[in-house]
Amino acid sequence: MTRLIALDTETTGLSPNRGDRIVEIGCVELIHMRKGATRQWFINPERPIPAEATRIHGITDEKVANEPIFRKIAEDFLAFIGSDQLVIYNAGFDLGFLNAELARIKRPLLDGSRVIDALMLARKRFPGAKADLDSVCKRLKIDNAHRKLHGALLDAELLAEVYVALNGGAQFAMDLTGGVEEVVVKVATTEQAVTVDVVRPVRVWPIAREEEQAHAAFLEFMQKEHGACLWTN
């Protein structure tokens, strides 16, 4: 089973190195490129949320005052993502925050080699164009009209749709047997080539019994009329 996790975070600011913390994590499971389970964690950041951050995601001190701190949700979060590949938009940002939180509780950091940066994929698909999530959604005809504010789960759900669309939808190519793709992931200042297993679901197109009978009758007619029929050999 090929399982990916589309992931997004909301934070108190832009820099974990200056003490900013995570206030929300959203995850959407993709199994064979189809949406599976979703998870959302609101987190008490143990520090005030600046007004400028609230204007972006709508999360206030009051909203997360009674939510668990990161340490309390870490096991649940890590169990959900497992060892599967993570799909993140602008991966350096989210990965930096997640690893800062994990380092704070002395847990192993998330390896950048397991991350697919969908921003890099979008820039490759639409070179020179605006590459923020809203612009890419519009270009791929993904409905994001409900995105009035940022939200980790909301953005992870849009990201999952974007990632599937960037890879051609549920069916990547005429070859349905699977394969690997290599993408370049930029984490912080390091670019890494990552090989990703791609499983292309076999699509079955059922036909009605009447159509099957009509097809068989036509082949029989061709055989009698011309003495041979390629499709019956």
Task: Give, for all 233 residues of the chain, the pLDDT tens digit.
Answer: 599 999 999 999 999 999 999 999 999 999 999 999 999 999 999 999 999 999 999 999 999 999 999 999 999 999 999 999 999 999 999 999 999 999 999 999 999 999 999 999 999 999 999 999 999 999 999 998 888 789 999 999 999 999 999 998 743 333 444 444 444 444 544 455 554 454 444 444 455 566 666 666 666 666 666 666 555 55
Which tokens is 189 given?
Answer: 């200042």
Distance CA 116, CA 87 (A): 5
Residue 11's nearest CA partner among 71, 52, 62 is 52
Torsion angle of alpha carbons 116, 120, 125, 130, nearest 10°? Answer: 130
Would you state the pLDDT for residue 142?
95
The one-letter amino acid at 209: R
Within 8 A by CB and 6+ apart from 52, the residues are none
pLDDT of residue 146: 82
CA distance 119 to 2: 21
The Cα angle at residue 59 between residues 100 and 48, in degrees rounded to 5: 60
Apex CA 218: angle with CA 215 and CA 223, to 5°? 130
Q: Which of 146, 150, 215, 226 is catalytic?
A: 150
H helix or E strand, kind and range, residue 24? strand 22-31
Count other C-beta atoms under 10 Å from residue 31's C-beta: 15
Structure confidence at residue 198 (pLDDT): 47
The C-alpha angle 130, 12, 22, rounded to 5 degrees, equals 95
Structure token digits, residue 174? 């005429």
CB 94 within 8 A of CB 88: yes
Terminal-residue alpha carbon distance, the chain: 38
pLDDT at 227: 63
Supply angle C-alpha 20, 26, 32, rounded to 5.
140
Name which of 124, 130, 96 is nearest 184 in CA terms. Answer: 124
226 is catalytic: no
Question: In Å, how far from its chain's centre is CA 20?
Answer: 24
Confidence at residue 58, expressed as pLDDT on a 0 to 100 scale: 96
Residue type present at position 204: V
d(CA 74, CA 91): 19
- What's the confidence (pLDDT) of residue 149? 81
Strand order in the sheet with 22-31: 34-42, 22-31, 3-11, 85-88, 115-117
